[in-house]
């Protein structure tokens, strides 16, 4: 594939995955969307500073601080002193936060299952393969732009 085709494919993947995620989480009633994003990020990273979470979520540091404070009040995240910088805190997911995140993910899975049930066996096999490719894509390091 040439670079423009890869760019178009990348755009299509981003649009489709965003729409799918919004559709699946529309009826998740256990967790606000912003909280689900932060808990999911902590599940992925293990722990992070508020500044890193804000950057990843593309919001201001004060906005993320407020969200983390609400999550901490719920018992879903905890703060610990950052050994590398005594002025900073590391935020991590608690067992209760992971349970809440898993519950929200299950609800999203149930919401998608009713639509998945309508697909053919061939489509489901293709989708399973696509999910495997997406997981692989998430582990790849970006390459410098090189012509193909």
pLDDT digits (tens, 9 = 90+) for 81-111: 988 888 889 999 999 999 999 999 999 999 8
In the β-sheet with 47-48, what is the strand arrangement from edge to edge? 47-48, 85-93, 77-82
Q: Is the pLDDT of residue 148 over 50?
A: no
Cβ–Cβ < 8 Å for 129, 50 = no
Which residue intervals of the chain are DSSP H helices? 3-25, 33-45, 50-57, 61-74, 95-116, 121-139
pTM for the whole thing?
A: 0.80
In the prediction, which pLDDT does 144 show? 66
pLDDT digits (tens, 9 = 90+) for 19-66: 998 888 887 777 788 899 999 999 998 899 999 999 988 999 999 999
Please give the structure tokens belonging to residue 73: 């009040």
Q: What percent of the chain has pLDDT over 90?
A: 67
Phi/psi of residue 2, nearest 5 degrees: -85, 165
Domains and CATH numbers, the chain: 31-139 (1.10.10.10)
Q: What is the DSSP letter of 141?
A: P
């Amino acid at each position: 594939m040439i670079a423009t085709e890869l760019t178009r494919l990348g755009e299509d993947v981003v649009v489709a995955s965003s729409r799918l995620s919004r559709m699946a989480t529309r009826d998740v009633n256990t967790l606000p969307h912003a909280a689900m994003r932060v808990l999911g990020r902590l599940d992925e990273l293990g722990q992070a500073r508020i500044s890193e979470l804000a950057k990843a979520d593309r919001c201001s540091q004060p906005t993320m601080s407020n969200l983390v404070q609400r999550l901490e009040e719920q018992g879903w995240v905890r703060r610990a002193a950052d050994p590398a910088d005594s002025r900073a805190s590391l935020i991590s997911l608690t067992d209760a936060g992971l349970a809440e995140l898993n519950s929200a993910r299950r609800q999203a899975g149930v919401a998608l299952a009713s639509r998945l049930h309508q697909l053919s066996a061939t489509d489901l096999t293709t989708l399973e393969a696509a999910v495997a490719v997406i997981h692989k894509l998430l582990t790849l390091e970006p390459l410098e732009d090189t012509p193909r």
